[in-house]
Every structure is written in C-alpha cells, then in structure tokens.
Structure 1
Amino acid sequence: MDRQVIHEEMERARAGFHELLSRATEAELGQMSKGTRWTNEQLLFHMLFGYMIARNLVILVRLFGRLPVGVSRGFAVLLNASTKPFDAVNYWGSCGGPRVFGPRRMTAKMDRVIDGLHRRLDAEREEDLRRGMHYPTRWDPFFADFMTLADVYHFPTQHFDFHRRQLTLDTRG
C-alpha cells in the first residue's frame, strides 16, 4: 500500500470524524447505531479507538516483524484463544470511553492520534513497511492472518469506514 494513500485516507477519516461530531445533536449521539449494541456516541469512540490501537499494533509489528515468523504465529494463536475477554474489553471500553472524553475531547484525541500516526508513517523505512506478522483473525474482520506494517497503518481507516456506515446520525447539512 502506498504511503501517500494511507496519509490521505487518514485525513479523510479525520475530516469525517470532525464533521460527524460537529453536526450531531446530543439526541442523535444517544441514539442506537445500526447493527451494534452501542449508541452513536459510543460507536464514534470505538472508531477513534481503532486509531488508538493502531499505535500499539505498529509497535507489535516492529517487534514481531524481526523475529522468526513462527513466533508471531504462536502469538496470534494465543490471542485468538482470548477472543471472549478481548470482546468484553472492546465492548465495555467503547461504552465508557465517551464518558471520559465527550465529543469535544474525542475530536482533539483523534487529531493527536492521527498526527502521531502521520509522523510515524513518514519516519518508516520502505523495508520496514514490508515487514509483518501474524494477527488474531477472530479479533477483527479487518485483521488478516498476516499483515505488513503498511497494512497496520491502513487498518484503522478500514475499521472507521466500516463502522461509519452503522451510524444513525443525520449528517445532511
């Protein structure tokens, strides 16, 4: 995946996030989203959380991408075995996140996280972007069995775009 494409998609997601939160009423934020157990506000936090998690995934690829491939395969098997606890933390964390952040702080956090991802992506060497590791495919539909560092930078926007379609916000201007 091209580095510039990743930068552009993160900027598109950032602008979309800003627009969604700036236009949403309190009542809309409290409405249930489509196909999840979260409200729109909780789902928006979950979308932000995907970018927050990506920062840690980058670190994992840097570590496991330098080890024999079997090490990350074993790690992925272990993580797949812990899917139920992961799902619970993922769900409840997204329920509580908006209480901690609120819409205004969520927007500021998204800006800081994406700015950091941009800086990290710019600093990556091409050879490192091609390194990869195995991932727990049961944790997220956008985790492939093997993902490169470039794939990991792309992941949060795939996650964002998928969940954006589940929002029930009226974003017509």
Structure 2
Amino acid sequence: MSEPPPVDRQEIAADLERARRTLHEILGRATAADFDRRSAGTRWTNEQLLFHMVFGYMVVRRLLILVRVFSRLPDRVGRGFARGLDAATPAFHEVNYLGSCAAATVFDRRRMGRQCDRVIANLQRSLARETEANLLRSMAFPVRWDPLFTETMTLEQVYRYPGKHFDFHRAQLTLG
C-alpha cells in the first residue's frame, strides 16, 4: 500500500489567512445597520453570525486536542463519544445559538477582528508544528452537530473545517 501524499500545509495556511482578511474587509465596510440586520436562514443578526464565524476557528483549537486524544484510544471509545454528542444535538444547537448571541456582545464588531487575528495566528503556529503522522490521525465526529462534519475526520480535515464553515455562513450574511 502506498503512502498518502503529504498534506498541503501551505494551502491550509493560505485559507486561514484568506478568511482572516475577508473578515477584516467585511468589518471595515459594514455599517451599523448592516451589523444589526437579520442574517438569511439563521436567527442571528449579521454581527452575531460574524462572531459565530470567528467562533468556528476558536472551536477548532479544542477539536484539535480531541482528535489528538481520541485518535490514540480504541475506535469504539471515539464512536461512543460521537454518538453521545449526537444524542445531545438539540441542546448543542440551542447553546450554540445563545452562546454566539452572548459572546457577540463581548467580541463585537470592534473586537472580533482582533480575536480572529489571535486565533488564526495560533492555528497557523500549531499547523506548522504538526507532524505528518499527526495530520493523518482521526476520530469519529458528531455528524448531527454540523453539516460539514463527516463520520470520521482527520486532523488535516479539522484544520480545513473552519474555512468551509466561514464560507457557508458568509453566504448567509445580509450586508448592504
């Protein structure tokens, strides 16, 4: 069996930077009315949704730890954990909604850009330190939590996830 091709870290790093720059562009051009307007297809305002998009990067930092731990345990442990999380999906969605509403009052339009800069810089450093073997580690995921989650995800896929999450929600913004 041949080895998988090396992970394209530059592509992942470029996507992290693309989203960071895009967020700053949005924050720089949106008006107060834009931030307060309801987004399309969510219960959030644009400002709350923008924070949720940044939060996707914050969550990845924790997901990386989980993958590193669960990938070393028997598969049945990780699958059981993912099933338990899937069972809690309704509560997760409510906490996810309310948490982004509350957090957007702290990491608002004036502060979320700096938070995004810090989180993405941390992810960039973490990505640069990962071994190829670590990037191939995987664990089961709760597929009901997010349409972008797959049943099993590698560390590489987790690094790629927040850009997809960002783009998915960017399409729901209703900016002028």
Q: Identify the TM-score tier after normalising by the shorter chain.
A: over 0.9
- Given the two structures, how large is their TM-score scaled by the length of structure 1? 0.96
Structure in which a larger fraction of residues adopt helix: 1
The one of 165, 169, 173 equivalent to 2:175 is 169
CA deviations 1:46-70 (Å, max 9, x no partner) are 0001000000000000000111111
- Given the two structures, how large is their TM-score scaled by the length of structure 2? 0.95
2:110 matches 1:141 = no
Distance 1:55 1:151 in 2: 13
The letter for the 1-side match of 2:163 is T
Alignment gaps of 5+ in structure 1: none
Percent identity (aligned): 57
Alignment gaps of 5+ in structure 2: 1-6
Give the ranges of 4+ consecutive aligned residues of structure 1 lying more than 6 Å apart after TM superposition.
Answer: none
The one of 67, 86, 96 equivalent to 1:80 is 86
The letter for the 1-side match of 2:62 is N
The one of 110, 118, 127 equivalent to 2:116 is 110
The letter for the 2-side match of 1:19 is E
The letter for the 2-side match of 1:83 is T
The letter for the 1-side match of 2:35 is L
Deviation at 1:21, TM superposition (A): 0.7
Distance 2:55 2:163 in 1: 11
Q: What's the counterpart of residue 90 of structure 1?
A: 96
